[in-house]
Amino acid sequence: MSTALRIAHGAFGRVALLDMDASLVRHAHPHCHVLLKVEGADTQFIVGDRVYPLTDVGAVLVNGWQPHSYVHYPERPRTVILALYIEPEWLTVFRPGWAASGAPGFFSYPSGEVSPHIRGLAMNLAADMMTRPEARAEHEALLSDLMIAVIERFTQWRSFPTSIREMSARGGDWRIRKVAASMRSEAGRGAAIETLAREAGLSRAHFFRLFEASVGVPPKVYLNVVRMEKAVDAVLNRSASVSEIGRQLGFAEPAHFTRFFRNHSGVSPREFRNVSRLAS
């Protein structure tokens, strides 16, 4: 069973140090996602429809809303992974154009060779999270240096301001924007795809095609992302019980919510909450 060793969260997003020995379902995140190996066996992620290795010298880089999954082979040893989930707004402190980190195409390629500098920063951050979980300011400073190094190495960051202007002109289909907003505000409703298609005034097949073209992921994946982000926020920031959070998000049984959370994060919501509180 996978274990969360440490979880830090703040304006930067989330940083999780995970000891993994189980696969994760295909999922996505609304922010850029960087995966760095700390120790243990080499492993791999599926990003899109291709497999990319995670090794001492190779990172996996996932764009916002890009479907991916973790693949663990049971016969292999466990892998300790430093997983970064970074908020675009936080990155604008360094460069305004880095708000593009939440959009498709931020990382040029889903994997890349890690420099000794990046490797050293990742190892220092992981070690500091383990030995000084309460040192939040120091962790954020290390994370800042790490993300700057990652972005400068693995992205075409000089072109981002232009990309942002272009993005602002591409709003996507208004019907899909309306349905997506409804999905975000009513994540616990669990509406069927047919219902969402009717709300958009589209056939089921046309709704699927237009939704994925506009958002980048199928509607079911989008809804799961919304539910998971709301679940993480509630687990970290609210005092409600795990059972109550699951009920509010539309899960009929606490076990169903726990399984959903574990399949997307690697650990149960209760463990996620308990580990994150070590840094509070």
3-state helix/strand/coil string of the chain: CCEEEEEEEECCEEEEEEEECCCEEEECCCCEEEEEEEEECCEEEEECCEEEEEECCEEEEECCCCCEEEECCCCCCCEEEEEEEECHHHHCCCCHHHHHHHCCCCECCCEEECCHHHHHHHHHHHHHHHHCCCCHHHHHHHHHHHHHHHHHHHECHHHHHHHHHHHHHCCCCHHHHHHHHHHHHCCCCCCCHHHHHHHHCCCHHHHHHHHHHHHCCCHHHHHHHHHHHHHHHHHHHCCCCHHHHHHHCCCCCHHHHHHHHHHHHCCCHHHHHHHHHHHC
Reply yes or no on whether the pLDDT at 161 is more than 60. no
pLDDT at site 54: 98
User: What single-letter amino acid sits at 156?
Assistant: Q
Reply yes or no on whether the pLDDT at 69 is more than 90. yes
Domains and CATH numbers, the chain: 3-166 (2.60.120.10), 171-279 (1.10.10.60)
Q: Which tokens in the block code for residue 178?
A: 């309306």
pTM score, two decimals?
0.89
Question: Please, which pLDDT band fits residue 165 given cuts at 50, 70 and 90?
Answer: very low
**Per-residue pLDDT tens digits for 89-142:** 999 899 888 888 887 889 999 999 999 999 999 999 999 999 999 999 999 999
pLDDT at site 190: 63
Beta strand 13-20 with 68-71: parallel, antiparallel or unpaired?
Answer: unpaired
